[in-house]
Structures are given as C-alpha cells and as structure tokens.
Chains A and B, each alone.
Chain A
Amino acid sequence: MKTEITRQELLARIHSRLDGNPSGPRTSTEFPDQAWPSQEEMVAQFVAALERASGRVYRAANAGEARERLIQVLRQSQAQRIVWAEGSSLSDLALDSLNGEFHMTCATDLGNSVRDVLAQTDVGITGADYAIAETGTLLLCAHPAMPRLLSALTTVHVAVVQVNQLFPTFAHLAPVVRKQAIAVSHMTLITGPSRTGDIEQVITIGAHGPRELHVILRAA
C-alpha cells in the first residue's frame, strides 16, 4: 500500500500544536453519584426503563416459571425456527426438551452456517452478561457459544436475565466490563427493540433489528 502520512508524523504534528498549552488538572475521574440502590429498587427501575423503550419484561420466581413464560412467548411469536445460545441463566431451563413443540437449534450446533441460518430464524434466545437498571439495558458479549448476530438478525429476541446480574448504572458496570473488554471482540448494549424516528420523527419499531424484545427476569 502506498505510504500516507505516518503515525509519527501525525502524532508529531499534534504534539507540536499542543506544546505549551497544557490543560488544568481534572477535578475527579469518578462518576458522580455512585450509590447502590437495593435489588428491588433496581428491578423496578429496570422494568420501567425497558418498558419505556418498548421492551416487554416478565418476572419469574424460579426456573419453572421462567420456562413457562418462555414457552408462552414462543407460542405467541408463532416462530418457525428458533435458535438459542447456551448461557448460565438458561442452563436449567431444559430448552432441549422443547424441541418437540418448536423447531429449536442450539447456536453451537450451527457450525459454519451461522449467518445463513440466523438470516432465516424468527426467534433468538440468549442470556445476558449483565443488565443495567437505570436504562433497562442488557449487555451481551460475543463468544464462541454466543453469535453476535443472534440478537440482531432475528425478528424476536428473548433474553433470560437473573436479578443478580443487575448493576445500577453503566458507570457502576464500566470498571467490570473494562477488564473483560480486551478478552472479547465485541459487546452490545441492548435497550428495547430496534427503532427509528427518521421519517417525521414518528417512532417506528423494527427498523433493522428485532421487532420485539422480551426479557424474562428471574430470581437468581
């Protein structure tokens, strides 16, 4: 490739511009207001915030309730094809046994055809790595068992989240995810279904990504 400006040249240009123009010291590097609300408060906040962002939230007291709720959501969606990603919040829901009623595939069994299969998949079921109460947000990290497109290409995204995965705000979560950041190629924060307001600012759901986001919030 032809040589352009080099890194050294550009950085030197910037450095010479800044010379003798130091900024004042920073007053703080902490985020203001780092209080931890109770778990019940966080749950209430999460539900309200996600519903405001057009997501649906259901609470489940145990694995059985979570499984029942999941089955209801899948029936309502009339899904032809469902793909799920293994995760700790899903491991005790016996998703394999749903294969009789639904056409279910585990993401790790897709091999090299992930893209093609997901483009034809109606419902994606995932866990979440973390959740943020203030904004009703899920954080999903890409990893071998968790294709990043599973929560993007599908029409309906169902996430099963445990209450002990809740953090009050992104600021509380930032130091935790910072440590993981270099270990994964990609993280996504998700707050509600895909939306657009690009025509006359009329909010319309389902622009490119999922048209529905269902979150089953289960007790730990």
Chain B
Amino acid sequence: MSKTTFDERARSAIADETLQRALARVLNRFRVDRDIALGEVDTLRLRQRAREIRDEALSHLDQYLAQFADNAARNGAVVHWAADAAEANRIAVEIAQSHSVTRVTKAKSMLTEEIGLNHALEAAGISVVETDLGEWIIQLAGQRPAHILGPALNLTRTQVAQVFARHLGVFVPDDIPTMTALARRELRAKFLEAEMGISGANFALAETGTVVLLTNEGNARFVTGLPRVYVAMVGIEKVVPTWQDLAVLLTLLPRSATGQRITTYVNLINGPRRVGEADGPDKMHLIIVDNGRSGLLGTPYQEALRCIRCSACLNVCPVYQEVGGFTYNAVYVGPIGAVLTPAIQGLARYHELPHASSLCFACREACPVMIDLPRLLLELRRQAAEGQPSPIGWMERLGFRLFGWGARQTWLYELAAKIGRFALRRFARDGRVPFAPFPLSRWTRARDFPVLDPRPFRERWKSQ
C-alpha cells in the first residue's frame, strides 16, 4: 500500500495532462453510448425489477447459494467454499497442483484482483496470463486496473506500445489494430498451451447452477473452453435466482456499462464437457468466496452487494472523472469502490475513500440496481468520524453551533452576508475568487469561489 494520501495522488492525477485527456475522452464516450442504449428500453421499470431481483437474492442468500451449488454439482462441477482470500487462493493453488498444472490463462475477474490470486499462483510456481487485452496490458505493466471495464483506459496508445516493446522485446508501432493483432497472436499461443483456465462470474444462476460470463473479445470462450481444467471463482453475492431474472440483468448490464445492447459474447456454463462432446474442459471447479461480503448482510451496507459491476457510477462521477482510478489506490474504484472497499476491507485503512465524492447524486441516478451510493458514503463518513475524533473536531462542532445560532438571527445573518459579499469582492478576479483568506482558503485551494451577487436573493424576491 502506498504511503501517499488520497489528496496527494489526486493532485498528481489532475496535473497529468495525458491522463486528463484520456479520462475525458473515455468517460464521455461511455456516457453518450449509455444514454442512447438505455433510451431504447423501459429503463425505470427495468431498474426497479433489477433492484428487486438483487434484493431477493441477497435477502435469501443462503438458500439461493445452496441451490446454485447443488445444481452446479449436479452438472458435474466440484464445488469449494472459501471464507477469505487466503482460503480461496489456497484452494485454487491446490486444484492446479492436483491436476499438475503449470500454465494458467485467466479471463478478467475483479474478485481475483481483490484476493490477489495471480501472486498466489505465481508464488507456487504457476505461470498466469491475463487474456483480456486491457488486463494483459496492465499485467505486463505491473499496474492495477484503472477502471472496472477498461483496466488500461488510462494509458495512451503510445504508452501501450512502450509496455509491449519493453516486455515482448520487439518494436511495436503505436497503431491500435497492429497492437491488437500482436496481442491476438501472443495470447492465442498462451490459450492453446494452458492446462487450466480461471474466470470470475458475472452471474451465478441458482435455478440451473449456471455460470454466466460476459466478454466482447471472446477471451472467456478460450479460457473456459480450451484447457483441460476450468475454475470459476464466484463471490457469494453474484447469485441470481432465475433465467427470467437473468434476462432483466442482461438487458441492463451492457447498456449501463459500455452502452452496448449486449456484449459480443455471453457464455452460459453448465459444468465440464459431457460424454460425446468434442471439446470443453474435463474438470470444472467452482470456488464460492465470501471474503468479507457476508459481514455486510443485515447492515446498512447490504445494498452495496446488489452491484453488478457495470461501472456506470464511475463514468458519471465528477470526482472519478478528475482523479481517475489510481488515486483510489484500491481494487474497486469510483463511487461503488468508495463504498465497497472500506465496507469490505476496513474503514480504518480506507477512511479517505468515502470523502471522494461531492454527493451530487449522479451515481445514484446512473445505478441500474438503484444502490443509494450517496447515503452509504455519508454513513461511512459518519462511522469514520465517530471512530476517530480528530483534533479539529471540537472546533468544527463549536463553529457549526455558532453558525446555527447566527443563521437563526435574521439581522445577524443579513449583516454577516453583507460583510461577506463586500469582503469577497476584494479578492475577485474576472468574476471568480481564486484565493480567499482562512477559513475559505481551504475551499479556494482546490477550486475557485464564485463572486456573490451584490443583491441577495431575499432582496430580489421581495422586490418582485
């Protein structure tokens, strides 16, 4: 974990012009496409249904998980249960070792990022190759994903070409089709030689024990179809009761994510190869992972487990748009990351994240499963403030008590406002206040303060 603070990382992200251009381009595109795709369906009704589906699954999670596991076992998968990251990693390594696996290919999975699976496999002498193009790029570069959907969207084509050149030892022109073709060649060889494939799961269908995977590149088809062993890692919250429910979520997820009506590929996996089938894995293992999730059940944070990882909240967030993914210094970033990361991995370590929001409610409006993100962020802030009485705590409390009293005395409020308006104008440049004295300096350090109108609203209202 880095020693820098959120503010320090945010400052360097804002100063990074390349990153700023990338963020503006990427997020704008996601937002425009999303609006078009959602405009074609009855979005509000679908969102309400999606929310009910996720709540139904979560409020009977033990039953649906048992149903999913039973059906998956009936389909021929071997089911494992893991309480935390260490157990999940140990199980995955033991599966690999018991099948004499030395080479693993992976489809993008946030859960395996969260538990650090690649390190655990590599520590056991097993090579791991990420096969989603963006994920492969950041694996080569040794970075964390900057975005849930596009892990390398913070990098320009030139930077990607440099990563390829450095790690593959060949000259690579910074032409996107050429680089994509190079990745196709390199990774095709990896797909064919891997003995084990690992994926996460977008959904775990309880009704039939089906693992559902969405990709555009098709890498999940190779990861789940080519090696002789296939392992799916499933977070306990991923369960969806029925195929009808899946239809609702499948309509909303790609539209909310990239603005596609559907991803190019959706894999519905029901166990290993059956008798007579020409291809597919001989063995399928399922690892069902808790890793802190069950601790959110029955708390105000339970609704955060509705999340289907579409990243719409990242794409609309004015804070994410300015600071990008790395500033969060966490696996899950953006508004949902600012909730999930401290809620699951500990508020003490991630106490800064709930403050990475202007509470503008854009995330709440965008969320396809209607998670009340601003409320959860406030709840986390409250919890953090209670846990750590800061030295300015009493000053702040006194200040607000004085303000509360003063604001109720009309004459005092009007006098103070008059002084404020007059005083601020002395610091104004072109209608903005770029610098103001303490305590307003804490505001103007980060952004301009607007010049107040010489006639307050109350006066204008009265003269109407």
Contacts and interface: CB of A to CB of B under 8 A. Distances in A.
Contacts of A4: 80-83, 87, 90-91
A199 B216 contact: no
Contacts of B162: none
B55 interface: yes
A82 interface: no
B102 interface: no
B395 to A, nearest CB: 39
A186 B179 contact: no
Contacts of A194: 216-218, 264-265
A198 B137 contact: yes
Contacts of B302: 21
B9 interface: no
Residue among B52, B155, B243 having the largest count of chain A Cβ atoms under 10 Å: B243
A152 B222 CA distance: 7
A198 B132 CA distance: 8
A198 B62 CA distance: 37
Interface stretch (A68-76, A94-102, A174-182): A174-182
A18 B61 contact: yes
A170 B82 CA distance: 33
B61 A170 contact: no
A196 B61 contact: no
Contacts of B65: 11, 14
A84 to B, nearest CB: 13
Interface in A161-204: 169-171, 174-175, 177-178, 181-182, 184-202, 204
Given A15-B62, A17-B298, A110 B221 contact: no
B218 A152 contact: yes
B225 A149 contact: yes
A12 B87 CA distance: 18
Contact of A199 (B71, B81, B160): B160
Interface in B201-222: 205, 207-210, 216-219, 221-222
Given A14-B65, A144-B278, A1 B187 contact: no
Nearest to A54: B264
B221 to A, nearest CB: 4
A110 B279 CA distance: 11
B161 to A, nearest CB: 9
B243 A177 contact: yes
A174 to B, nearest CB: 4
A199 B152 contact: yes
B444 interface: no
Nearest to A207: B217
A87 interface: no
B188 interface: yes
Nearest to A29: B244
Nearest to A174: B243
B251 A208 contact: no
Residue among A10, A171, A175 having the largest count of chain B Cβ atoms under 10 Å: A10
Contacts of B81: 4-7, 9-10
A33 interface: yes
Contacts of A182: 71, 74-75, 208-209, 270
Contact of A188 (B45, B208, B266): B266
B127 interface: no
B258 A170 contact: no
Contacts of B385: none
A178 to B, nearest CB: 4
Contacts of B263: 191
Contacts of B76: 185
B222 A188 contact: no
A148 B221 contact: yes
A202 to B, nearest CB: 5
Interface string B62-73: 100110010100
Contacts of B160: 199
A21 B248 CA distance: 25
B250 interface: yes
B271 A199 contact: no
B98 interface: yes
A23 B150 contact: no
A205 to B, nearest CB: 9
Contacts of B20: none
B261 A23 contact: no
Nearest to A12: B62
B272 interface: yes
Interface string A29-43: 111110000000000
A91 B11 CA distance: 65
B398 interface: no
A104 interface: no
A199 B157 contact: yes
Given A206-B181, A207-B217, 20 more contacts: A1-B94, A4-B81, A10-B83, A21-B298, A23-B55, A29-B244, A30-B244, A31-B247, A32-B42, A175-B243, A181-B208, A182-B208, A186-B269, A190-B265, A191-B263, A195-B217, A195-B264, A196-B216, A199-B134, A207-B216
18 contacts: A18-B62, A20-B298, A21-B298, A29-B244, A114-B279, A137-B262, A142-B277, A144-B277, A144-B278, A149-B225, A184-B270, A186-B267, A186-B268, A197-B216, A198-B217, A200-B26, A208-B187, A209-B221
Interface of A: 1-2, 4-7, 9-15, 17-24, 26-33, 49, 53, 107, 110, 114-115, 118-119, 134-137, 142-144, 147-149, 152-153, 169-171, 174-175, 177-178, 181-182, 184-202, 204, 206-210
Interchain residue pairs A-B with the least CB separation, the first 7: A209-B218, A198-B134, A23-B59, A207-B217, A171-B247, A17-B297, A189-B266
